[in-house]
């Protein structure tokens, strides 16, 4: 699922923050208590490509995996004195192959049988967010519709943030609901359903606190509940429970170093779910101001334990079973670099990221899946702001 969108660094909302420093709230990094002072129009194009599988891991089929071209367009503008509205459109053009099931290879080890290299799909997501601002906070309502050949989702989200009297602490609460419909395309590989549905509801509550002139911290709790069809229809050996409860405890810390004109960024998330998966995610970044330029390198470490019903070769006699590598125990390292430059009312951004995963990099025990994913992704973007 895609995360809920919040206004960030390149938003006109942030400019209005700079203009109203005297009323800076603790969640200044997210939203201001005034509508944006500028209209913003932007476009980003990203390319995502997964490494081919090792020949030794594939029993049958293509070794190549997914490539995705992602285009994001948006406009965000103030409306009257207390409102803003944003329209986001995203197109994902996907092609490639994914693991169909895991069997025993010629060497006696688990080997992947791929779905074939002919899969093509296109996803279009359209979202509208309106936000109301008052003296001590703001509230937003977002509606989003996602449509692809075999999946539709309609989601609603509401969030509100409000400040303490001294604007040093900010409380945030949000709730969302998504109604999804799965209609698998049957030409690709054998599938055994025509149409299924899935409902997901989510709650989040968090607080951020200014600690000093250069330090801010936040912590948040979330709970997400899904009911319905959670099995992957394109996997031969996949049967998952129809309920999935997820909890997260997330935290973040920012410290600005004035002598360096840059900031340390640390985020941590603890995750646990009703399928037996726990995970840790730690991300550390540095944001370096260089006049009109910004350089922001970051490192991310992720590790998860396997789901209760996962095994490298699925036991199809069990009540629930899966050989999906995404449910196995492993660890993953990500390294990325982001560069932006401000040219008058225009901002150019580029970013590149490398993601690698390995069963031995994880903190949890478990058998390694043969199809763990490694990928590159890169982005270029252009943003224009005007009165």
Partner 1 sequence: MKPVVVKLIVVCGLNLLTGCAGPEPVAPWERGYLADPAMQWQRSAREAKFAGHVYTSKEASSGGSGAAGGGCGCN
Q: What are phi and psi of 314, to 5 degrees?
A: -65, 145
Scan residues 298-357 and list those touching partner 1 (CB under 8 A): 298, 302, 304, 307, 326-327, 332, 338, 349, 351, 355
Rule CB under 8 A: choose which of 38, 234, 236, 309 binds partner 1: 234
Piece of 51-59, 105-113, 267-275, 313-321 that binds partner 1 (CB under 8 A): 267-275
Look-up of token digits 């899966």: 322
Of residues 241-260, those binding partner 1 (CB under 8 A): 246, 248-252, 254, 256, 258
Report d(CA 283, CA 254) in Å as an integer. 12
**Position 175 contacts partner 1 (CB under 8 A):** yes
* Subset of residues 2 to 41 that bind partner 1, contact rule: CB under 8 A: 2-11, 14, 17-18, 21-24, 28-30
- Quote the DSSP letter at residue 306: P
Which of the stretches 55-63, 104-112, 311-319, 374-382 binds partner 1 when contact is defined by CB under 8 A? 374-382
**Nearest CA-CA partner of 170 in 13, 31, 332:** 31
Tokens standing for residue 133:
């601002």
CA distance 86 to 131: 9
**Whole-number Å distance between alpha carbons of 240 and 351:** 36
Contact 354, 49 (CB under 8 A): no
Closest alpha carbon to 333 in 370, 282, 264: 282
Range in contact with partner 1 (rule: CB under 8 A) among 51-59, 104-112, 151-159, 311-319: 151-159
Q: Which of 33, 180, 323, 368 binds partner 1 (CB under 8 A)?
A: 180
Considering only residues 119-148, where is the footprint of partner 1 by CB under 8 A? Answer: 121, 123, 125, 127, 142, 144-146, 148
- Name which of 111 and 232 has its Cβ closer to partner 1: 232
Taking contact as CB under 8 A, which single stretch among the options 77-85, 101-109, 196-204, 312-320 is the one that binds partner 1?
196-204
Closer to partner 1 at the Cβ: 136 or 317? Answer: 136
Residues between 101 and 120 that touch partner 1 (CB under 8 A): none
Which residue in 178, 262, 183 sits closest to 226, CA to CA? 178
**Strands 110-114 and 58-60, sheet pairing:** parallel
Cβ distance to partner 1 smaller for residue 106 or 259: 259
H or E stretch including 42? Answer: strand 39-50
- The 110-114 sheet, strands edge to edge: 58-60, 110-114, 99-104
Q: Per CB under 8 A, does 170 bind partner 1?
A: no
Q: In this chain, which of 131, 362, 375, 385 binds partner 1, going by CB under 8 A?
A: 375
Q: What is the phi/psi pair of residue 112, to 5°?
A: -90, 135
Give the closest residue to 305 by CA, choosing from 333, 280, 324. 280
The minimum distance between CB 210 and partner 1, in angstroms, equals 5
Residue 6 or 110 having the CB closest to partner 1? 6
Q: Which of 80, 106, 165, 212 binds partner 1 (CB under 8 A)?
A: 212
């Amino acid at each position: 699922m895609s995360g809920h969108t919040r206004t960030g660094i390149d938003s006109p909302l942030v400019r209005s923050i700079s203009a109203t420093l005297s009323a800076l709230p603790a969640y200044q990094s997210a939203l201001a208590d005034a509508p944006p002072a500028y209209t913003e129009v932007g476009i980003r194009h990203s390319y995502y490509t997964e490494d081919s599988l090792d020949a030794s891991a594939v029993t049958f089929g293509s070794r190549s995996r997914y490539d995705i071209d992602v285009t994001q367009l948006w406009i965000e503008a103030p409306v009257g004195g207390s409102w803003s509205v944003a329209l986001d459109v995203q197109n994902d053009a996907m092609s490639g192959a994914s693991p169909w099931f895991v069997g025993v290879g010629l060497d006696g080890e688990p080997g992947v049988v791929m779905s074939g290299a002919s899969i093509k799909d296109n996803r279009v997501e359209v979202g509208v967010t309106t936000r109301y601002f008052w003296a001590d906070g703001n509230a937003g309502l977002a509606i989003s519709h996602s449509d692809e050949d075999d999946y539709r989702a309609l989601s609603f989200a509401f969030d509100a943030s409000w400040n303490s009297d001294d604007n040093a602490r900010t409380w945030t609460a949000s709730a969302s609901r998504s109604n999804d419909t799965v209609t698998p395309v049957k030409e690709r590989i054998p599938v055994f359903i025509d149409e299924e549905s899935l409902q997901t509801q989510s709650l989040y509550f968090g607080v951020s606190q200014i600690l000093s002139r250069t330090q801010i911290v936040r912590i948040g709790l979330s709970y997400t509940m899904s009911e319905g069809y959670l099995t992957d229809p394109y996997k031969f050996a996949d049967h998952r429970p129809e309920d999935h409860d997820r909890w997260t405890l997330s935290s973040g810390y920012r410290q600005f170093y004035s002598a360096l004109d840059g900031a340390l960024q640390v985020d941590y998330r603890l995750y646990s779910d009703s399928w037996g998966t726990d995970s840790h995610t730690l991300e550390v970044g540095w944001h370096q101001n260089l006049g009109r330029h910004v350089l922001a390198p970051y490192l991310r470490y992720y590790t998860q334990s396997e789901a209760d019903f996962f095994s490298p070769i699925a036991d199809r006699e069990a009540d629930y079973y899966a050989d999906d590598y995404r449910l196995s125990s492993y660890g993953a390292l990500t390294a990325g670099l982001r560069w932006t430059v401000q040219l008058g009312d225009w901002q150019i951004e580029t970013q590149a990221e490398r993601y690698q995963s390995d069963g031995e990099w994880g903190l949890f025990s478990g058998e390694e899946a043969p199809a763990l994913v490694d990928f590159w992704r890169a982005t270029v973007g252009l943003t224009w702001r005007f009165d």
